[in-house]
Amino acid sequence: MESNMKERSVCFTGHRDIEAWRKFEIKEKLFEVIKSLIYKGYTDFYAGGAYGFDMMAALEVLRVKELNNNVKLHIILPYKKNVNNYCSYDKYTQNLILERADDVECLFERYITGCFHTRNRKMVDSSSVCVAFLEKSSGGTYFTVNYAREKGLEIIFI
């Protein structure tokens, strides 16, 4: 990836399970952070395609994209997912995001050990800012935030 694109790129990482009462607040914070980043010249946003924070972030990027067609949403999936286990709202939302994203990259044909870490590292390696919703000191989000720190990314916590 050209370094110029990386300098104006942002990745998202966050937990899948978010209490219902917190979703509105997180959504509004995301919207404000994304607008602020666009004002600073960031145009490319990477999300991982999982339910929870990934979907919320992708939807907020799409919301801003309606007002600014320079904004690009890139979805990086760890493997070709079967969304049949998602509830109907999440299936609908996932399909909407995949249809409206500027590009969708699928790293592996099927689940393999480490595919989520590979996806997370690819998003971080493509970005200069990481927007994170982190509430636990373990798991994939924790790993991704630490990797982003190691790589020198600016971290913005929601």
Instruction: Give the model confidence (pLDDT) of 90-132 as tens digits.
Output: 778 888 999 999 999 999 999 999 999 999 999 999 999 999 9
Q: What residues does 157 pair with on adjacent strands?
A: 132
What does the alpha-carbon distance between residue 24 and residue 110 come to, in Å, rounded to a whole number?
33
pLDDT at 19: 86
Q: In Å, how far are 45, 46, 67 from 5, measured between CA atoms?
A: 11, 12, 21
Mean pLDDT of 66-76: 96
- Do residues 101 and 67 make contact, with C-beta atoms less than 8 angstroms apart? no
Count the Cβ atoms, other than its own, within 10 Å of residue 158: 19
Residue whose token pair is 């997370």: 120
Give the CATH number of domain 3-157. Answer: 3.40.50.450
pLDDT at 85 over 70: no
What is this structure's pTM? 0.92
